[in-house]
């Protein structure tokens, strides 16, 4: 196994972060990336993880499954801890072990970072150092040969740093690779050093700077050649009867993990699963104040009011669909090393619809009574909402991804998404009205509504995944 980068250059926002960076790390070796603040250490790690594309050059991994990306073979430990405060310590680690593939033993990993006694506590109760140790447990719970560690000792106390050093030495001894961005010694003997010497904003204009103008210094240590065959054992321990089927099973497990996690978070304190219903009720209550308490009028506009209310309420919760994952760093891990991003995004959308869309559908008959709708009309509206709200979620998925990519949440999202939802609104309301006294049959607009939902099922996850991949 050999991880190498050749002639890497990275330009961000028109400024060269670094250029002419080359390295080659063999199994059992560690590479320490050092340099002043802003010299591109984090960028280099993200680049290796596949989260950023290099402007020039490439990173290659030889000697492993050729179909797997580096991200799928690597653990990326970022500054953010990728922990959900409302989940317990065990749930947080359990999610990442299930998500990242063949689950090893989360319990042993927790014990190794001395958090086993706190397994049942919400992660919100942990101190910064404890959270760091919990993220480190991820590296132990699931075996991945390459570790990309960004300032791994940050917030750790002396004991924590010592046990981290031991964990890293064990990983190297088992034939793993470590690339660590650091300011201080990590306690690994014989690690090589790659020193990044800082950006030079002055030469931003040059599109392809000539090589050699700014060489990288290499601190050559003696490469540790002692490596056991432990890593190879673990990799071949996979059932190799049908690798394709095993891979599918792994992907399904990852998707199920995302789905279960998102539903759990939505139902916990601060998840806000029923906030949309409350907003829906508020919108429905406001309408008669604007139109007057005229029951005949309300009955006529009722389906439209319910649809508008559901539409606005489903927009409300979209803001947090990706934003929280981005803030705590989970999104990077989901993008870098898991199942195909389209499917992961789809799983998130399904969980989101179940916790925000479905409650709207369930609540709508009651709100229909408030608007004096006839039972038949209520039934038709509920049916159209049941079919139509998934489309709203899936279209909103694109907006949520864009908002995350542009680092602008809040008001931008509705502005982006609302125009896209117009067709769904048209045919949803048309079908609901047609059920009662429409000039057309219920089936016609309803069939188009179903088609719109199916189309957005295709477009939504793909567009959202494409957006998330190009966030950098």
Partner 1 sequence: MIVQKRPMALIDLANPSRFLALVGRALPWLALATAIAFAIGIVLVLMAPDDYQQGATVKIMFVHVPAAWLASLIWVVMSIAALGTLVWRHPLADVAAKTAASIGAAFTFLCLFAGSMWGRPMWGTYWVWDARLTSVLVMFLMYLGLIALWQTVEDPTRAGRAAAILTLVGAINLPIIKFSVDWWNTLHQGTSVFRLDGPSIHPTILAPLLVMALAFTLLFVTLHLAAMRNEILRRRVRTLRLLQAHGA
Interacting residues toward partner 1 by CB under 8 A: 85-86, 114-115, 117-118, 121-122, 124-127, 130, 269-270, 272, 274-275, 278, 281-282, 285, 288-289, 292-295, 298, 369-370, 372
288 or 414: CB nearest partner 1: 288
Smallest separation, CB 294 to partner 1 (Å): 5
Q: Which is nearer to partner 1, 315 or 431 (CB)?
A: 315
Give 154-223 as a DSSP string.
TT--HHHHHHHHHHHHHHHHTT-EEEEE-SS--S-TT-EEEE-----GGGTT-SSPPTTTTPPEEE--PP
Structure tokens at 446: 């309803």
> Cα separation of 190 and 206, whole Å?
37
Least spacing, CB of residue 116 vs partner 1, in Å: 10
- Comparing CB distances to partner 1, the nearer of 222 and 289 is 289
Give the C-alpha separation, 62 to 4, whole Å: 8
First-to-last alpha carbon distance for the chain, in angstroms, is 28
| Residue among 212 and 289 whose Cβ is closer to partner 1 | 289
Given the complex with partner 1, which of 275 and 459 has the nearer CB atom? 275
Q: What is the DSSP letter of 74?
A: E
Nearer to partner 1 (CB atom), residue 22 or residue 372: 372
SS3 21: strand
Q: Closest separation between CB of residue 370 and partner 1, Å?
A: 5
Any idea how long the chain is? 472
CA distances from 27 to 49, 143, 177, 281 (A): 17, 14, 5, 60
At closest approach, how far in Å is the CB of 226 from partner 1? 35
Q: To 10 degrees, what angle do helices 128-141 and 89-99 make?
A: 30
Of 401, 398, 402, 403, which is closest to residue 420 (Cα–Cα)?
398
Structure tokens at 233: 């054992």
Cβ 78 to partner 1 shortest distance, Å: 23
Minimum CB separation of residue 255 from partner 1 in Å reads 28
Residue 146's H or E segment, with its range, is: strand 146-150
User: Which has the closest alpha carbon to 216: 65, 444, 17, 11?
Assistant: 17
Contact 377, 436 (CB under 8 A): yes
Nearer to partner 1, 105 or 117 (CB): 117
Task: Pick the closer one to partner 1 by CB: 133 or 348.
Answer: 133
* Least CB distance to partner 1 at residue 76 (A): 26
Q: Which is nearer to partner 1, 55 or 86 (by Cβ)? A: 86
Task: State the sign of the Cα–Cα–Cα–Cα dihedral 351, 355, 358, 360.
Answer: negative
CB of 369 to partner 1, least distance (A): 5
Structural element, H or E, at residue 353: none
Q: Least distance in Å: CB of 3 to partner 1?
A: 36
Nearer to partner 1, 263 or 418 (CB): 263
To partner 1, the closest distance from the beta carbon of 174 in angstroms equals 28
Rounded to whole angstroms, the Cα distance separating 197 from 17 reads 10
């Amino acid at each position: 196994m050999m991880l190498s980068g050749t002639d890497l250059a990275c330009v961000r926002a028109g400024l060269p972060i670094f250029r002419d960076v080359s390295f080659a790390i063999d199994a059992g070796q560690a590479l320490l990336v050092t340099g002043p603040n802003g010299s591109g250490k984090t960028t280099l790690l993200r680049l290796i993880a596949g989260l950023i594309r290099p402007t020039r050059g490439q990173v290659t991994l030889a000697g492993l499954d050729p179909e797997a990306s580096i991200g799928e073979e690597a653990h990326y430990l970022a500054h953010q801890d990728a922990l959900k405060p409302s989940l317990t310590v065990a749930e947080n680690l359990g999610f990442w072990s299930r998500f990242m593939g063949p689950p090893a033993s989360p319990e042993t990993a927790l014990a190794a970072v001395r958090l086993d006694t706190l397994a049942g506590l919400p992660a919100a109760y942990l101190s910064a150092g404890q959270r760091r140790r919990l993220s480190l447990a991820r590296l132990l719970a699931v075996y991945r040969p390459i570790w990309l560690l960004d300032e791994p000792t940050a917030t750790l106390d002396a004991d924590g740093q010592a046990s981290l050093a031991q964990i890293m030495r064990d990983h190297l001894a088992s034939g793993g690779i470590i690339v660590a961005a650091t300011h201080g010694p990590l306690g690994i003997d014989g690690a090589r050093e790659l020193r990044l010497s800082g950006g030079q904003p002055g030469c931003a204009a040059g599109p392809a700077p000539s090589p050699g103008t700014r060489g990288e210094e290499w601190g050559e240590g003696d490469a540790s050649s002692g490596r056991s065959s432990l890593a190879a054992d673990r990799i071949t321990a996979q059932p190799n009867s049908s690798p394709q089927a095993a891979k599918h099973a792994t992907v399904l497990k990852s998707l199920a993990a995302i789905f279960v996690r998102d539903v759990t978070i939505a139902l916990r304190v601060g998840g806000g699963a029923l906030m949309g219903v409350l907003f829906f009720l508020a919108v429905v209550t406001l309408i008669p104040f604007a139109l007057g308490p005229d029951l005949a009028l309300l009955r006529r506009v009722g389906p439209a009011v319910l649809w508008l209310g559901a539409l606005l309420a489903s927009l409300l919760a979209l803001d947090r669909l990706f934003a929280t994952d981005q803030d705590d760093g989970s999104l990077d891990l989901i993008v870098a090393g898991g199942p195909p991003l389209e499917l992961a995004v789809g799983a998130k959308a399904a969980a989101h619809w179940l916790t925000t869309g479905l409650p709207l559908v369930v609540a709508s008959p009651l709100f229909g009574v408030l608007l004096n709708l006839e039972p038949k009309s209520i039934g038709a509206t509920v049916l159209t909402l049941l079919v139509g709200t998934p489309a709203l979620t899936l279209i909103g998925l694109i907006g949520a991804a864009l908002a995350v990519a542009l680092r602008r949440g809040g008001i931008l999202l509705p502005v982006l998404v609302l125009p896209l939802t117009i067709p769904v609104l048209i045919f949803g309301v048309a079908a609901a009205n047609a059920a009662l006294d429409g000039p057309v049959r219920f089936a016609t607009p309803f069939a188009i509504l179903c088609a719109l939902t199916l189309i957005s099922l295709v477009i939504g996850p793909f567009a959202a995944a494409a957006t998330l991949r190009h966030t950098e």
